[in-house]
Amino acid sequence: MAGNAVNHDCERHIGISFTEHVAESQHRLSPAARGELTSLLLHLMMAAKIIARETRKAGLVDILGLTGRTNVQGEKVQKLDDYADDIIIRNLRYTGHLCVMSSEEHEDIITIPERYAIGNYALTFDPLDGSSNIDANVSIGTIFSIQRRVSDGPTGTRQDILQRGKNQVCAGYIIYGSSTIMVYTTGHGVHGFTLDPSVGEFLLSHPDIRIPEQGRIYSVNEGNYYRWDAPARKLVEAFKSEENPRGEPYSSRYIGSLVADFHRNLLYGGIFIYPADAKSPSGKLRLLPEANPLAFVAHNAGGLATTGTQRILDIEPKRLHHRVPLIIGSRKDVEFAESFYSGGTGA
């Protein structure tokens, strides 16, 4: 029957699933790999699908639960961000691929219970970023960062989590919006997948995303303007004037949900800014579960991420909840922002 061999490549038009894409690219990039990272990501996507299902029901929280309030039986009902946190931990801890985890929702690291095998990777995540927007039906997201284990004891340690962003082997996010989209990179291109709810699979919808070199959007919470330092104020003034790389005013777009603001700017081009301010002198956003993974995505899509004075991926984390100012997006716009902090343009 040799003459009847089927060319499976002709099936590509039906859509490349995330499962196929990640397995194929891992095999191509590291033929000796045993599929650990692939398996880890597939478990993470399983958790994402469950979180997507629950966020879609968020308008029904008072009826179905996940409110953070007390139900009629007098029991405290879990909040959606705690629920997402639990789902990720429970779907990942038994896989044998992780040595330790860290979540924005936990003060300390999350160890792997003794009954499960210890693996070669460490996972840091923000289970549901922007969750204060849930009640208004605004897009929210899960952010993740994976690093290779560096400790050598019987179990993972804080050291495995406290690594510079440039050591990440994989990072990305899932955005729960008008559709559920996941974007990831292993350092070889940035790819986006949209969840097809009819089959429960993420299908490749945004192959090899490149952020425009220069954008036309700036995203910042301008309500904090009078609390910012001089470079941040002058920078935002510049984006509103013609004294910027574009030569005309940028549009202002701010959702207040980091993943949604970042994702829009990744596709359309632009810059997201969360500067240090008088209330949060180190910045509001967290280096490990927020800035690092998005910086890894931005860099691999041709963009940049900085605090203004230091590239995000070079920062040595001092603690699990280390906070940083974050300026991230199109390369020329971020370089322009850096010039304000380096004593150049108007600093």
CB of 162 to ligand AHM, least distance (A): 19
Of these, 19, 151, 221, 339, which contacts ligand AHM (CB under 6 A)? Answer: 221
Task: Give the E-state strand segments of the chain in sequence order.
Answer: 98-103, 110-111, 121-129, 140-148, 168-176, 180-185, 190-196, 201-206, 217-219, 251-252, 271-274, 285-286, 304-306, 323-324, 326-329
Provide the Cα torsion 272, 225, 129, 109; round to 10°.
100
Q: How many residues bind ligand AHM (CB under 6 A)?
A: 11
Query: Judged by CB under 5 A, does residue 333 bind Mg ion?
Result: no
Smallest Cα–Cα separation from 301: which of 273, 325, 327, 331?
A: 331
Query: Judged by CB under 6 A, does residue 257 bind ligand AHM?
Result: yes
Residue range at the interface with ligand AHM (CB under 6 A); choices 5-13, 123-131, 152-160, 233-241: 123-131
CB-based contact 317:287 (threshold 8 Å): yes
Of these, 258, 297, 320, 334, which contacts ligand AHM (CB under 6 A)? Answer: 258
Burial degree of 124 (CB within 10 A; 0-12, 13-18, 19+)? buried
Residue 160 binds what, of ligand AHM, Mg ion, none (CB under 5 to 8 Å, by partner type)? Answer: none
Taking each helix axis from N to C terminus, what angle separates 258-268 and 292-300, rounded to the nearest 10 degrees? Answer: 10
Residue range at the interface with ligand AHM (CB under 6 A); choices 64-72, 180-188, 205-213, 252-260: 252-260
What is the CB-side half-sphere exposure of residue 221 using CA atoms within 13 A? Answer: 17
Residue 201 binds what, of ligand AHM, Mg ion, none (CB under 5 to 8 Å, by partner type)? Answer: none
Under DSSP, is residue 281 helix (H, G, I), strand (E, B) or coil? coil
Question: Which residues from 125-154 bind ligand AHM, rule CB under 6 A?
Answer: 126, 129-132
User: Which CB atom, from 126 or from 201, has the smaller least distance to Mg ion?
Assistant: 126
* x/- letters, 105..144, toward Mg ion (CB under 5 A): ---------------------x--x---------------
Which tokens hold the place of 213? 């070199």
Question: Which residues from 100-119 bind ligand AHM, rule CB under 6 A?
Answer: 104
Round to whole Å and give the CA distance between 146 and 310. Answer: 22
User: Which CB atom, from 263 or from 284, has the smaller least distance to ligand AHM?
Assistant: 284
Residue range at the interface with ligand AHM (CB under 6 A); choices 67-75, 177-185, 197-205, 251-259: 251-259
CB of 276 to ligand AHM, least distance (A): 12
**Residues found near Mg ion in the complex (CB under 5 A):** 126, 129
Binding region for ligand AHM (CB under 6 A)? 104, 126, 129-132, 221, 256-258, 284
